[in-house]
A = this chain, B = another copy of it.
Amino acid sequence: MFSATALSAKCDGTSLPQNDPTPGAIVDLIERCQQAKEYSYNRYSNFRVGAALLCQDGTIYTGCNVENASYGLTICAERTAIFKAVSEGHRKFTAIAISSDVVHEFISPCGACRQVFVEFGVDWDVFMTKPDLTYKRMKTGELLPFCFAPESFEQHR
């Protein structure tokens, strides 16, 4: 229905042709995202989520969900990892892996996180995992087809 290339052209011109994690990096990233659940602050949902973000320079940042009594000010694990990385000077990402304790389903990012993913490009990898370390892999742009990304916005203000 859409191709990563077409999306890339439409949503974000900054994507690199070569930006694939190696098999070893994938295994490492998935293990790290499972560990990242440890610090989950899930006082209201009792639902633990972890994330591990691989920057293009090889640095990994982890994140967990941090909930709030107001519910609406809750943040997801994926965005925690991205905000951490950006606050340390990173804006070019290779992959993010996401974990939960749900054993029979690949944990999928919410729409808010997908929008934050495409802010930093539509062609990097998302690994949706299970606790047994199996995963489903998709591009950020595939998870948010016809996305509203930086270029669309700025062209027209």
Contacts and interface: CB of A to CB of B under 8 A. Distances in A.
Contacts of A154: 43, 69
Contacts of A149: 69
A80 interface: yes
A122 to B, nearest CB: 12
A82 B107 CA distance: 24
B144 A144 contact: yes
Copy number of this protein in the oligomer?
Answer: 4
Interface string A120-138: 0000000010000000101
A112 B47 CA distance: 20
Interface string A6-19: 00000000000000
Nearest to A1: B1
Interface residues of A, number: 71
A71 B45 contact: yes
A87 B109 contact: no
A26 interface: no
A74 B71 CA distance: 6
Interface of A: 1, 36, 38-39, 41, 43-47, 62-77, 79-84, 86-89, 91, 100-102, 105-116, 118-119, 128, 136, 138, 142-150, 152-154, 156-157
15 contacts: A47-B156, A62-B87, A64-B86, A66-B87, A69-B148, A70-B115, A70-B148, A72-B110, A73-B116, A80-B86, A107-B148, A108-B146, A111-B116, A138-B146, A142-B145
